[in-house]
Amino acid sequence: MTDRSRRQLVRLAGSLSALAAAGLLAACGKQEPAAPKAEAKAEPKQADPLKAAWIYVGPVGDAGWSYAHDLGRKAVEAKFGSAVSTSFVEKVPEGADAERVIRDLAQQGNKIIFATSFGYMEPMLKVAGDFPDVKFEHATGYKSAPNMRIYDASLYQDAYLAGVIAGRMTKTGTLGFVGSFPIPEVLRNINAYTLGARSVNPKVRTRVVWVNTWFDPARESEAAQTLINQGADVLLQNTDSTAVLQTAEKNGKFAFGWDSDMSAFGPKAHLASAIINWGPYYIKAIDDVLKGSWQTGRTIWGVKEDLNDLVKIADVVPDETKDLVAKIKAGMKDDSFEVFSGPIVDNAGKERLPKDQKADRAWKDKVDFFVAGVEGKVPSGS
Amino acid sequence: MNETVLLLAAAIASGTPLVLAGLGLLINEKSGVLNLGAEGMMLVAAVAGFATALGTGSEILALGAGAAAGAVAAAAFGVLVIGLNANQYAAGLALSIFGAGLSAFVGIGYVGKKLEGPAAPLAGSIGHWLGELPLVGPLLFRQHPVVWLSLALTLLVAWLLYRTRAGLVLRAVGESPESAHALGYPVRTIRFAAVVTGGALCGVAGACLSVVYAPMWVEGLVAGRGWIALALTTFATWRPGRVLVGAWLFGGVTLLQFHLQAQGVAIASQLLAMLPYLATIVVLALISRNPAWIRANMPASLGRPFHAG
């Protein structure tokens, strides 16, 4: 090895290690103990606080999904005070890293761990087997264990309500939907949006564009622009950024906020925001552990339990429409109204739910079609 | 309104950051230096531009800040590979990954912040009239001025490279640094200037994404466009005009896929996402088979460090 190339190698190694350090810095999650340890020591009689941990797929500042979960965590802190000590790890990739993080959290003495993204299901299931004393809670999944249970929101209810507003507000009769991935959860939302719109305006058609990501503002805004170019004038999305709303604002069209109140991002375009308020569920879950009444199972809450809601309905929406939305919402609260009530026909003309029948959980879990009124086909595994 | 025209207009808007970055990398590579750090430079510039736009409300200042940030990142790269003769491939990759980490770190506070939307490109009745013209209205006059900038820059770069003495010297340095050196040209200085210029243009592209196109900041906003710009220079066989057309083509690929989806035609987006790279590989294979093409445009010393004397 010549002198020069050895020097180059040393330089390269130097720059690479600097790089690794920077990467570590950027990757480090934040931990935020709620109750200072000193306080706990000062009162020895008081029992140690219950340690609860959350893991998020995005940064807590995403103004969407992870942010909403973190508000729920803060609600727990506010409710239980020093009886509970909470912490969180943000930006945990779904997959092998998640397993490591969940295992770490369990080893650190957390008694209950909330995993807030679909892809944490398998890793959490694995760790749950090794820590029988720890309670595991997984959002939006379908697998459980004796010490792992599932919780979920009913965002399709919000999508339906948004659809009712969209059906009344559209001038072109074409709605747009920016979809993330063709999974049952998202298909339910597209269908509910379309059903809601057609309940007040039977001629409405919905066009769908898939972006295959939960969060990529540039792609989301390209997709929204495409829909607008093709005549859609009221947009809804199942992605997490504010891009669709902002694109609608730029084009003088309408759109909705998703996951959190996004009215500030498109004051003229914003018709309403679908929000999730995880606080009540998290408080119940912690309460279950504190009281020793925690049991495995599956909890799906919705408008009835104030877990999700459609809020900030804009002034441009006529009062009559607002009243209708309020009426449907009341129906959701007292269980007299179900979004997926038969007859439901898919867009190929096949009956999916017979007349006078309300969809059960199993039916909703398996939605793999577009209802009549949605254009195109559900992408299959290609 | 004609959907095809709107699709073309959107493709031009989508391709504009690629034009800017592609031209920058073209200048960069014409001097014989390969900078794989485009993605990192664009990310750093995107966050710098966004922060400036948020602070000052001025798009011009924001694009300027992006250019400055890109130039600084490129200068660091230049010191490593030109001053210290570090390996260009390794240093470029390092810059790419470093830029991703740095921009994410610096940008934490800017996630979820909102910019006032870009102003209408042309105000007043004349602007409105121009925007309503068939074809050229949506394609040109309803676009953001940065689109016009990209067109002007393409002409400027083409003119500089092929019609001026400075361009001739730059190309000479890229073709045969030894000969240029023997003729008394400061090879390293010229290369450094080319690298910094390239970085500045990549920076404008990055800021354009976060300030004009998205407009917002999130981690990883550039989302691979730096790599596409790198592929683009090869795809365009190092010709400015082809960079322009290629960028619109690459930018149009995703839009076309969205367009087809909304029409009810299903094509896997993953398939289309790899098309730019596939096209680049095809071009690479073609020009490798035909020596005349290589001699015509590819800088002969691309990627090789130059040791004076």
Q: Show residues of chain A in contact with B218, CB under 8 Å.
A: 62, 215, 217, 241
Select the residue of A63, A229, A375 nearest B10 (Cβ to Cβ).
A229
pLDDT (average), residues A235-264: 91
* C-alpha to C-alpha distance for A265 and A250, rounded to whole angstroms: 11
What is the per-residue pLDDT across A288-321, written as a single tens digit (0 to 9) for each?
999 999 999 999 999 999 999 999 999 999 999 9
Give residue A23's pLDDT.
Answer: 44
Output the six-digit token pair for A81: 């005070």
Q: Show residues of chain B in contact with A226, CB under 8 Å.
A: 7, 10, 255, 258-259, 261-262
* C-alpha to C-alpha distance for A54 and A102, rounded to whole angstroms: 9
* C-alpha to C-alpha distance for A304 and A223, rounded to whole angstroms: 33
Q: Which residues, in sequence order, are bridge partners of residue A255?
A: A235, A270
Sign of CA dihedral B9, B10, B13, B16: negative
* B266/A376 Cβ within 8 A: yes
Q: How many helices (H) and strands (E) does chain A have?
A: 12, 14
Q: Show residues of chain A in contact with B47, CB under 8 Å.
A: none
pLDDT (average), residues A210-217: 83
What is the per-residue pLDDT across A334-382, written as a single tens digit (0 to 9) for each?
989 999 998 999 999 999 999 889 998 889 888 999 999 999 888 875 4
Q: Which of B241, B178, B206 is nearest to B23 (CA)?
A: B241
Name the H helices within chain B. Answer: 3-30, 38-56, 59-78, 88-106, 124-132, 136, 145-163, 165-175, 177-182, 187-207, 225-235, 240-262, 269-273, 275-289, 291-297
Main-chain dihedrals φ then ψ at residue A29, nearest 5 degrees = -80, 170
Select the residue of B14, B117, B209 nearest A249 (Cβ to Cβ).
B117
The three-state secondary structure class of B114 is coil
* C-alpha to C-alpha distance for A245 and B196, rounded to whole angstroms: 37
Q: Which residues, in sequence order, are bridge partners of residue A86?
A: A52
Question: For chain A, what is the radius of gyration of the CA atoms?
Answer: 23
Q: Which of A260, A237, A270, A219 is nearest to A63 (CA)?
A: A260
* C-alpha to C-alpha distance for A318 and A298, rounded to whole angstroms: 38
Q: Show residues of chain A in contact with B266, CB under 8 Å.
A: 376-377, 379, 382
Instruction: Show Cβ contacts of residue B212 under 8 Å, excluding neighbours closer than 6 positions.
Output: B59, B118, B144, B146
| Higher-scoring residue by pLDDT: A44, A78 | A78
B287/chain A closest Cα distance in angstroms: 31
CA atoms within 13 A on the CB side of B195: 29
The pLDDT of residue A238 is above 50: yes
Residue that the structure tokens 């919000």 belong to? A158
* B14/A226 Cβ within 8 A: no
The pLDDT of residue A4 is above 70: no
Out of A19-28, A35-44, B115-124, B163-172, the most confident range is B163-172
Which amino acid is present at B109?
Answer: G
Q: Where are the beta strands (DSSP E) in chain A?
A: 50-55, 84-89, 112-115, 135-139, 148-152, 174-179, 205-210, 234-237, 254-259, 270-276, 298-300, 308-311, 344-345, 351-353
Pairing of β A254-259 and β A148-152 = unpaired
The pLDDT of residue A14 is above 70: no
The three-state secondary structure class of A304 is helix
* B254/A222 Cβ within 8 A: yes
Q: What is the share, in percent, of chain A residues with pLDDT greater than 70?
A: 87
Instruction: Kindly report whether the peptide bond that precedes residue A49 is cis, defined as omega within 30 degrees of 0.
Output: no
B81 by Cβ neighbours in 10 Å (0-12 / 13-18 / 19+) ranks as buried
How many other CB atoms are found less than 10 A from the CB of residue B61? 16
Give residue B269's pLDDT.
Answer: 66
Q: What is the DSSP string of A251-278?
A: HT-EEEEEES--GGG-TTTEEEEEEE--
DSSP letter assigned to residue A47: P
CA angle A317, A323, A325 (to 5 degrees): 80
The pLDDT of residue A9 is above 70: no
The pLDDT of residue A19 is above 50: no
Q: Which residues, in sequence order, are bridge partners of residue A113?
A: A53, A136
A vs B, Cβ pairs < 8 A, gives 134
Q: What is the DSSP string of A358-380?
A: B--HHHHHT--SPBTTB-S----
What is the per-residue pLDDT across A89-122, written as a single tens digit (0 to 9) for each?
988 888 888 999 999 999 999 999 999 988 899 9
Instruction: Show Cβ contacts of residue B303 under 8 Å, excluding neighbours closer than 6 positions.
Output: B32, B33, B34, B88, B89
Instruction: Give the domains, in start order, of chain B with CATH numbers.
Output: 3-297 (1.10.3470)
Report ipTM (2 d.p.): 0.72
* A223/B209 Cβ within 8 A: no
Instruction: Give the domains, in start order, of chain A with CATH numbers.
Output: 45-152 (3.40.50.2300), 155-275+306-365 (3.40.50.2300)
* B269/A212 Cβ within 8 A: yes
Instruction: Show Cβ contacts of residue A38 under 8 Å, excluding neighbours closer than 6 positions.
Output: none
Q: How confident is the model at residue A248 (pLDDT cuts 50, 70, 90)?
A: very high
CA atoms within 13 A on the CB side of A328: 22
Cα-based distances in Å from A41 to A34, A84, A107, A110, A294 = 15, 15, 21, 18, 28
| Higher-scoring residue by pLDDT: A15, B212 | B212
The pLDDT of residue A173 is above 50: yes
Q: Show residues of chain A in contact with B258, CB under 8 Å.
A: 209, 211, 222-223, 226
Give the residue from chain A lying closest to B221, CA to CA. Answer: A216
The pLDDT of residue A20 is above 60: no
* A219/B218 Cβ within 8 A: no
Taking each helix axis as running N to C, give the angle between helix B145-163 and helix B3-30, from 0 to 180 degrees, rounded to the nearest 10: 40
Q: Which residue ranges of chain B lie beneath pLDDT 70?
A: 1, 117-128, 266, 269, 293-296, 308-309
* C-alpha to C-alpha distance for B226 and B202, rounded to whole angstroms: 8
Question: Contact at 8 Å (CB) between B44 and B102?
Answer: yes
Give residue B223's pLDDT.
Answer: 83
Select the residue of A19, A61, A212 nearest B111 (Cβ to Cβ).
A61
Q: Which of A271, A270, A281 is nearest to A161 (CA)?
A: A271
